[in-house]
Each structure stands twice: as structure tokens, then as C-alpha cells.
């Protein structure tokens, strides 16, 4: 499950004209697209921690944390937490480097098998444990055949949605649930102080792995961009529906698709363009080009074709407005062209989506969920707000610098500062004011 480590935020843009202005506008428009899923993930974890006591009790620990912090000495607890976090960090580094090596060697089947196995464990085994504890907490009776049927349908649909294809909202919902479930697993099986130490250490690792020239996550992102391949959907949350489709096509194919879509004024034009791509029709395409040039359809004529079509459509539309009784044939063509332009613009907007690593969802939720486990709503809300502020600043820097950035350091740093400041400074101050009947 450590495969859900951290994939940095990525941004893909279509045009590079007015980069800074478009980037700022783009970031402002899409902030809400990340605030909603991140907030939902954290709310699911907080609600679970406060209603199901199973995830708040410490009875079993992970293999990566051999020191269980059973002593009452704070110095020994601190030493145990640092040792556990370093061991877990070494394991994460090894797994990340292994993932990069497999990706560099194009061992896609091994990576997909790895991710499918991790998703299978989360969607079937840990989801069943979650359902069992949920039913026990709310005292809801359910027989085993019904529970197994529900888990089978839920798990199979999740595997299809994450690793194959499904509606975007369904895939996003499963990714949010998987991240929340993984966060609950960390809260349940990590020792008390180790959880805070892991959050601090993973933020530093995230900074190094993304921003260093030879950082493994930076190498992964750059390699995926060079190969024009999508990062595996089980590792990343995408706010756009066209991400997988666009990433699976080469630049040549994209240009071909763009050219064919721009020349769809008649079915015969698109079919002739498609036939010219076939090797067997090379001589026929050359003859067609020569015949077109002889008939006056030169290269200059083809280049200015779109401008002439747009000018004629404007004239026809104006004429139709002046004479409503005129035949609707031209208006149909104009409406179709306008609809095509609108759809292409919408597709361009969808291409420019934000991608946030699933690991970011997990560790955001771990921080807020751990704060809520103490039963202090002031601290929980402070951590929640701090993480959103940090994410907003990260997106602002992303729009300015226009390159992959780590999403954990700012948000986790703000969250830790707000958490301990609220717990050790704000709460005692508020309790003292309440005891003295002082109202501000």
C-alpha cells in the first residue's frame, strides 16, 4: 500500500500564449476542483474517527514500526518515533525507486499488477473491515451473504472504475474513498508520536523527490511527459475527463486529429484525408493533390479556407437575421460550425486539468484525522483550514512557475503549526478566558 506514496501536482496546458496571465486565471478557476475532493476525503476520515472507535484504538502495529512507544518516558517516545519514521521512510524510498526503475524499463505489466493488487486489498479486504465496524458501530444487523454480495459489487466496480474506464465522477469517488481508507489504516496502525514524525519526514521527502534534479518523482513526471503517457490512474486524482485519452496518444496522432477535425466541412473531405494516411493509397493521394492544384485548389487556397468559411458564415448569419423566411439550410451549417467550435473550446479547457497525487489526499487526511482523534474540534477545524490554505498557496505557485510542485510541504507545515499552536496555546487561553468569564 505504500505505492500510494506521492505523485506531485502536474499541470498540462494547450497553448503557451500569455503564459503567466493564463496560468493565474487557470489556477483560480480550478482551485475549487481540488478543494471539494480534498475536503470530502478529510471529512470522511474525521466522521469515521468520531463514530467508529475501532480506528482510534491501538492494539496492532505495522511491520515497518518495530518500536511501539509503550514507555511513559517522553524522551524514549521521541526516539521511538524518529526511529519508526526513518524505517518507514527508507521503505518508501526503496519502493519509489523500484517504481521508477520499472517505469524506465517499461515494465508496465508489473506496475499494473502491483497497483491492481494494492487496489484489490483496499477495495475488498480493508473495505470489508470498514463495513463490519460501521455496522457494529451503528448496531445494524446484516447477514454474511448480503455483506459479501455488497462487497463483491463494490469491489469489482471499483477495480473497473480505477483501472479501466468509467464515468469521471465514479472514478473520482472511488479514489477519494481509497485515499480515506488508507488514511484510516495509517491512523489505526501507526503509533501515536510516530504519526506526527512521519508527517514531518514525508513532507521533507516530498520536497526533495520533486524539486531535486535527480529526484525520483521528478524523473517519473518528466519521463511520462517525454513519452506522452498518462501517469497511472490508481496513483493520481485528475480533475479532467480527457486526461487518460489525451495521454495515450502521440503528438503526431494529436496533430492528425486536430487537422481532421478542422477540415470537417464535408464528409468527403474527412474520408479523403483518412485514406491518404494509408500506405497503399499513396499514389492515389498524390494524383488527387495534382488534380486539385490543376483545378485551382492550391496550397494558399487551402490555408485561407478556414478564414473564408468563417467570413461566409458571419455574412449568412447576418442575412438570415434580416430575412427570417429564408431557407434554414445555411443556418444549420452555421449552427453546426459554431457548436463544433464550442465543443473544441470545451475540450481544450478539459485538457488543462489539475492532477493531484493520491498520497497528498492520504497524508492530508491523516493529519486532520489524527487531530480529531483527541476530541478537540477547535484543533480539528484549525488543521482543516490550514491544509486548505497551504493547498491554495501551492496552486498559486503552480500557476506562477508552471511546473510540477510538491503538494505536501506547505500544507503539512501549516497543519502541524496550527495543530500544536491550537492545542498548546489557543485552547489553554480559551479555557482560562472561559473560567474567568472573560468574553472577547
Pairwise CA distance, residues 182 & 112, whole Å: 19
8 Å CB contact between 317 and 334: yes
> How far apart are the C-alpha atoms of 393 and 388, rounded to whole Å?
9
Cα–Cα nearest to 352, from 29, 21, 18: 29
Considering the chain, what is the average pLDDT of its residues? 76
The helix-helix angle for 19-51 and 358-372 (nearest 10°) equals: 40
The pLDDT of residue 378: 92
- Cell 474527412, residue? 270
d(CA 234, CA 114): 10
Cell numbers that stand for 330 in this block: 445555411
pLDDT digits 0-9 by tens, 61-120: 888 889 988 888 888 999 999 999 999 999 999 999 999 999 999 999 999 999 999 999
Residue 183 has pLDDT above 90, yes or no: yes
- In sequence order, what DSSP letters do the residues of 241-269 get, joined into one string? SSHHHHHTS-HHHHHHHHHHHHT-SSHHH
Question: Tell me: the pLDDT tens digits for 133-173?
Answer: 999 999 999 999 999 999 999 999 999 999 988 898 999 99
The whole-number average pLDDT for the span 251-257 is 42
Q: Which residues contact 293 (CB under 8 A, 6 or more apart)?
A: none
- Tell me the mean pLDDT in the region 229-234: 80
pLDDT in the model for residue 63? 84
Residue 46 has pLDDT above 50, yes or no: yes
In this model, does residue 364 exceed pLDDT 90? yes
CB atoms within 10 A of CB 163: 17
pLDDT of 189: 93
Q: Round to whole Å and give the CA distance between 107 and 110.
A: 6
Q: Which residues pair with 10 in a beta bridge?
A: 355
Residue among 418, 423, 382, 338 at smallest CA distance from 42: 382
What is the tens place of the pLDDT at every residue in 258-316?
444 444 333 333 333 333 333 344 444 444 444 444 444 455 656 666 676 766 666 65
Closest CA to 200 of 90, 97, 81, 99: 81
3-state class (DSSP) for residue 11: strand
Radius of gyration from C-alpha coordinates of the chain: 28
Mean pLDDT of 321-348: 44
**Residue numbers annotated as active site:** 206, 360
Query: What single DSSP character describes residue 17?
Result: T
**In the structure, what pLDDT confidence band is assigned to residue 205 with cuts at 50, 70 and 90?**
very high
**Residue with more model confidence, 161 or 18:** 161
Amino acid at each position: 500500500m505504500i505505492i500510494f506514496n506521492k505523485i506531485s501536482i502536474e499541470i498540462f496546458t494547450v497553448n503557451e500564449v500569455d503564459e503567466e496571465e493564463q496560468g493565474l486565471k487557470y489556477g483560480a478557476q480550478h482551485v475549487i476542483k481540488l478543494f471539494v475532493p480534498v475536503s470530502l476525503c478529510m471529512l470522511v476520515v474525521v466522521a469515521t474517527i468520531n463514530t467508529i472507535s475501532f480506528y482510534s484504538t491501538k492494539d496492532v502495529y505495522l511491520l515497518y514500526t518495530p518500536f511501539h512507544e509503550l514507555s511513559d518516558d517522553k524522551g524514549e517516545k521521541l526516539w521511538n518515533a524518529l526511529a519508526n519514521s526513518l524505517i518507514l521512510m527508507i521503505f518508501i524510498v526503496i519502493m519509489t525507486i523500484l517504481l521508477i526503475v520499472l517505469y524506465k524499463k517499461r515494465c508496465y505489466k508489473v506496475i499494473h499488477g502491483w497497483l491492481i493488487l494494492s487496489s484489490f486489498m483496499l477495495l475488498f479486504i480493508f473495505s470489508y473491515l470498514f463495513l463490519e465496524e460501521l455496522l457494529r458501530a451503528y448496531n445494524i444487523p446484516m447477514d454474511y451473504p448480503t455483506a459479501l454480495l455488497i462487497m463483491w459489487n463494490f469491489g469489482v466496480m471499483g477495480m473497473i472504475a480505477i483501472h479501466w474506464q468509467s464515468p469521471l465522477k465514479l472514478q473520482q469517488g472511488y479514489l477519494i474513498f481509497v485515499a480515506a481508507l488508507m488514511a484510516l489504516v495509517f491512523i489505526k496502525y501507526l503509533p501515536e508520536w510516530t504519526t506526527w514524525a512521519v508527517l514531518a519526514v514525508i513532507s521533507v521527502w516530498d520536497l526533495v523527490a520533486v524539486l531535486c534534479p535527480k529526484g525520483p518523482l521528478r524523473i517519473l513526471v518528466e519521463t511520462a511527459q517525454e513519452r506522452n503517457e498518462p501517469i497511472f490512474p490508481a496513483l493520481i486524482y485528475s480533475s479532467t475527463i480527457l486526461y487518460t485519452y489525451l495521454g495515450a496518444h502521440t503528438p503526431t496522432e494529436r496533430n492528425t486529429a486536430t487537422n481532421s477535425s478542422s477540415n470537417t466541412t464535408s464528409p468527403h473531405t474527412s474520408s479523403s484525408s483518412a485514406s491518404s494516411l494509408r500506405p497503399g493509397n499513396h499514389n492515389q493521394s498524390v494524383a488527387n493533390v495534382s488534380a486539385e492544384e490543376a483545378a485551382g485548389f492550391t496550397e494558399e487556397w487551402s490555408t485561407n479556407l478556414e478564414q473564408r468559411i468563417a467570413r461566409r458564415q458571419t455574412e449568412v448569419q447576418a442575412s438570415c437575421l434580416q430575412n427570417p423566411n429564408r431557407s434554414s439550410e445555411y443556418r444549420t451549417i452555421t449552427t453546426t460550425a459554431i457548436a463544433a467550435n464550442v465543443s473544441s473550446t470545451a475540450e481544450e479547457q478539459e485538457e488543462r486539468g489539475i492532477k493531484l497525487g493520491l498520497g497528498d489526499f492520504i497524508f492530508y487526511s491523516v493529519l486532520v484525522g489524527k487531530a480529531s482523534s483527541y476530541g478537540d474540534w477547535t484543533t480539528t477545524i484549525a488543521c482543516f483550514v490550514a491544509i486548505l490554505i497551504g493547498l491554495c498557496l501551492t496552486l498559486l505557485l503552480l500557476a506562477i512557475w508552471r511546473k510540477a510542485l510538491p503538494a505536501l510541504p506547505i500544507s503539512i507545515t501549516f497543519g502541524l503549526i496550527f495543530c500544536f499552536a491550537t492545542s498548546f496555546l489557543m485552547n489553554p487561553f480559551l479555557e482560562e478566558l472561559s473560567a474567568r468569564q472573560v468574553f472577547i
